[in-house]
Each structure stands twice: as structure tokens, then as C-alpha cells.
């Protein structure tokens, strides 16, 4: 079981992270920044000690993916794609089943929406790729 799946399950089961995409109250910042902090590349982010911020609950609220340089964003997408390729159909179904209101996987993909086509190219033929393709198609049909 990959660390990403364990992390997403933990987020759902503990019910203490907001995973509402574009939440107008908190922006799902704890979830988004904590996700970035779990990546191997996190420790290689230049000036990470200055960029990292936590809130009163000692949870990460920065750095945010979109605040990082484009080259670093590409490396983050490459690394997260490695983890997403490990997700099975059953695992994705389980994540969806447990968190119907604000699906955690949807929130994860929205975090990388500026690179969704590139991320999809890395996930083609995988269950996560199928999920992302559905999100991309839905977005195109809505807008």
C-alpha cells in the first residue's frame, strides 16, 4: 500500500482536514500543504525552512504548490504521478465511497489543475488516469 493511499485514507478517517476544492473559508490549505510536505522533494525545496508555515494546530499551511517555481511544480507533479499510478480501482472506489461530499482525490487533482493535461499524460491507462480524465472532461463540458 502506497504512502499516498494511506495518507488519503487517514485524511478521510480522521475527518480533520478540509478537502473542499476552493473552500472559501480555509482553501483546504492544511490538506494541500501537508500533501506537499509528504513528498520526497519537499526537503529539496530551496529555502524550505523559510517557506514552511504551520498554524496554531501545528499543521502545515505553506508552502502551497502554486506558490512554487514552475520547475519545482513540474518535479512535484512527476513525483505525485508516481504515487498516483500505484492506486488501484478498488482503492479509488474506497476513497470515493468514504468521502462523498468533498472527495479527497478530487481535491488532490484540483491542486494540480494548472498541470492537469501533463499529469494526465503521466497517468494514461491507470485507474487514477481514468479518474482524472473524467474530471478534465467534466470541466470542459461545464465551461
Q: Which of 1, 11, 3, 141 is nearest to 80 (CA)?
A: 3
CB 107 within 8 A of CB 100: no
Q: Where are the beta strands (DSSP E) in 37-120?
A: 53-54, 60-62
Other CB atoms closer than 10 Å to residue 68's CB: what's the count?
A: 18
What confidence score (pLDDT) does residue 131 get? 96
CB 105 within 8 A of CB 13: no
Q: Where are the beta strands (DSSP E) in the chain?
A: 53-54, 60-62
What confidence score (pLDDT) does residue 138 get? 83
Q: Give the residue ranges of the chain where pLDDT is below 70.
A: 143
Rounded to an integer, what distance in angstroms lies between the CA atom of residue 42 and that of residue 25? Answer: 26
Query: Dihedral sign, CA of 15, 20, 21, 24?
Result: negative
CB 102 within 8 A of CB 19: yes
Residue extents of the structural domains in the chain = 3-142
What confidence score (pLDDT) does residue 143 get? 66
What confidence score (pLDDT) does residue 42 get? 95
State residue 85 phi and psi, 5-degree precision: -65, -20
Amino acid at each position: 500500500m502506497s504512502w499516498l493511499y494511506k495518507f488519503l485514507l487517514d485524511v478521510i478517517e480522521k475527518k480533520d482536514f478540509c478537502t473542499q476544492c476552493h473552500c472559501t473559508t480555509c482553501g483546504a490549505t492544511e490538506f494541500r500543504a501537508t500533501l506537499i510536505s509528504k513528498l520526497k522533494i519537499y526537503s529539496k525545496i530551496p529555502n524550505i525552512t523559510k517557506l514552511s508555515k504551520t498554524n496554531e494546530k501545528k499543521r502545515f499551511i505553506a508552502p502551497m504548490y502554486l506558490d512554487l517555481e514552475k520547475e519545482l511544480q513540474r518535479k512535484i507533479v512527476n513525483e505525485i504521478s508516481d504515487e498516483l499510478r500505484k492506486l488501484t480501482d478498488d482503492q479509488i472506489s474506497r476513497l470515493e465511497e468514504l468521502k462523498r461530499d468533498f472527495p479527497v482525490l478530487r481535491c488532490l487533482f484540483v491542486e494540480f489543475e494548472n498541470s492537469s493535461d501533463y499529469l494526465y499524460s503521466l497517468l494514461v491507462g491507470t485507474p487514477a488516469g481514468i479518474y482524472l480524465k473524467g474530471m478534465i472532461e467534466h470541466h470542459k463540458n461545464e465551461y
